[in-house]
Structure 1
């Protein structure tokens, strides 16, 4: 064995050991996150896997759908408890998110996720719920309304994705991976260490200009993002997020249920003028309210304003 071969083998061994170290580190962080934020709801078998959900309160049904990279904790830092005083509130981990599973090859486009929401509404026996969607959850809620197959009272959307986007925020740059094999490789090697070492740039875009609440990491479920599974499934959602929006945008005039939107004027993820103002200008039957100085994470940073907005929408439909 010559010197060149020995050198190459040495390099291969070093790279393999480094990758193994990253896998072990990611697994340890995953276990730590799951111990800190265990499942807090119940589980229900659905067609694509197992749904994790939580239902609290009594009254008219409200179903809440979180956004890209989120989980049900996004609604559980005050918003769900507030609404539960006079509503029956169901918050879910979307299939593939949080503690809900999503078996391949279940599709991840908005229309397919809307079909799963319809299944969930039936399985949980929700009675004409008001559907609340945040960010990507807003697009999914709109798809449910456009499909017209589930009996819902209306939509109350928080910073929703509503129209096709040519260029997404740089916060999502690392998610644009279309190969499942590469996505899993990155998820189990580089994704978690990167999030641990440099969380600030992404956090400032997602939450800014508002601070991250102290209870977000645990009660808000933020620590669950430190899991390979989270990166893999969020990437799957991201690459298909825009697929159905052009066709959906052409159908908004056909919406048969009331739609109301709440946006922060300082949202750094989605442009409130485009996804809110432009939409309402084209379809004035859709209501729009703005929260001055608020960013994208309204359910977490502005739970009182979000609850008041949802309650107004619910009362208008009573």
Structure 2
């Protein structure tokens, strides 16, 4: 028994030493990063508006052939920015104005907590007000679907319809779907979490790997494209904001809230999307009571960036149908 206790004591001491070394190394790495930060001179096309008190970056693609049809407002997902729409938006702007904005905490929008669904919904409403948009069609991608549907639930008369693209508007993880914003909560310890995130965004390789896996063979993964992804995360306070975001429960509506949405909706999913495939799309369509469901065979989560022509070809009929309402 004494030998076992001694071994347990040694293991405990070793674990404490490892934790102390990890904390010290993380702190030292962050200190070095502050002395030698990476800054990328990547332009942010577009302009800024005040959206519910948040200085928000917006891009606008004017209609190539104005038709009087409802404008589109594009809402990106987690760790994305207006960049993910940069290839699809010009195609969608063939006959109507298209707008995209950076959700609080991401892209070139100011980092202003709280990072929760209520605040994100406020921001979307602020964008619509600042741009003086009357009853647009809102297209959400991934977790951006939750923001779009949340606004539609709050102010149904203000939007013509919502498209859920590669996302179902509810938390992705966890069996309990009865609590808004539920799902997996990641507990990230300072200074380890900021050090890990900083190490990732300082280098192109890990971001290139993730983007290529989610996007497919048609995705731009050259240095310039990857720098466009990581530039916003290299700005002052960006890493801390990202850590704060992922510490929160994943944003999302409950099943009951989603079923209460009354505005016309449509679903677009990619068959090779590991987080939102056919079963999830059909379940979402049932909750939203919509028959507008389109599939992109062989496409992945970031089809809007990797296969913009196919993405917009599948999306346009759904938008036209919602516009017809």
Q: TM-score range by the shorter chain?
A: 0.7 to 0.9
Q: 1:161: how far off?
A: 3.5
Identify which of 274, 294, 300 aligns with 1:295. 300
Matched, 1:310 2:310: no
Unaligned 5+ segments in structure 2 are 1-19, 176-184
Distance, in Å, in 1 between the alignment partners of 2:226 and 2:208 is 20
Matched, 1:112 2:122: no
- SS state at 2:225 partner: coil
- SS state at 1:314 partner: helix
Distance, in Å, in 1 between the alignment partners of 2:52 and 2:267 is 30
Q: 1:283: how far off?
A: 4.3
Aligned counterpart, 1:90: 99
Q: 1:214: how far off?
A: 3.9
Deviations 1:124-171 (A, max 9, x none): 101211101100111111111111256111012210143343359xxx
- 239 and 143 in structure 1: CA distance in 2 versus 1, 3 angstrom threshold: farther
Report if aligned partners of 1:26, 1:227 keep a CA contact under 8 Å in 2.
no
Q: 1:272: how far off?
A: 1.5
Give the total of aligned pairs: 288
Aligned counterpart, 1:102: 111
Aligned counterpart, 1:194: 200
Q: 1:19: how far off?
A: 4.1
Distance, in Å, in 2 between the alignment partners of 1:261 and 1:239 is 29
Deviations 1:69-98 (A, max 9, x none): 00111101x211111221111111112211
Report if aligned partners of 1:29, 1:226 keep a CA contact under 8 Å in 2.
no
Identify which of 234, 237, 240 aligns with 1:227. 234
Report if aligned partners of 1:144, 1:150 keep a CA contact under 8 Å in 2.
no
Matched, 1:31 2:36: no
User: Greater CA deviation, 83-92 or 225-234?
Assistant: 225-234
User: Greater CA deviation, 134-143 or 223-232?
Assistant: 223-232
Q: 1:210: how far off?
A: 4.1
- 19 and 133 in structure 1: CA distance in 2 versus 1, 3 angstrom threshold: same
Matched, 1:236 2:244: yes
Report if aligned partners of 2:167, 2:276 keep a CA contact under 8 Å in 1.
no
- 292 and 49 in structure 1: CA distance in 2 versus 1, 3 angstrom threshold: same
Distance, in Å, in 2 between the alignment partners of 1:38 and 1:93 is 14
Report if aligned partners of 2:258, 2:287 keep a CA contact under 8 Å in 1.
no
- 70 and 90 in structure 1: CA distance in 2 versus 1, 3 angstrom threshold: same
Distance, in Å, in 1 between the alignment partners of 2:26 and 2:240 is 21
Aligned counterpart, 1:125: 132
RMSD of aligned alpha carbons: 3.3
Distance, in Å, in 2 between the alignment partners of 1:19 and 1:251 is 43
Matched, 1:257 2:263: yes
- SS state at 2:72 partner: strand
Aligned counterpart, 1:176: 186
- SS state at 1:256 partner: coil
Distance, in Å, in 2 between the alignment partners of 1:193 and 1:113 is 28
Matched, 1:73 2:80: no
Deviations 1:172-216 (A, max 9, x none): xxx92467xx2xx44653322234264465345533x54532468
Q: Which has the larger radius of gyration?
A: 2
Q: 1:307: how far off?
A: 1.7
Distance, in Å, in 2 between the alignment partners of 1:261 and 1:241 is 24
Greater relative contact order, per chain length (Cα 8 Å cut-off, separation 6+): 1
Q: TM-score, normalised by structure 1?
A: 0.77
Deviations 1:263-285 (A, max 9, x none): 111113x1323431222244442
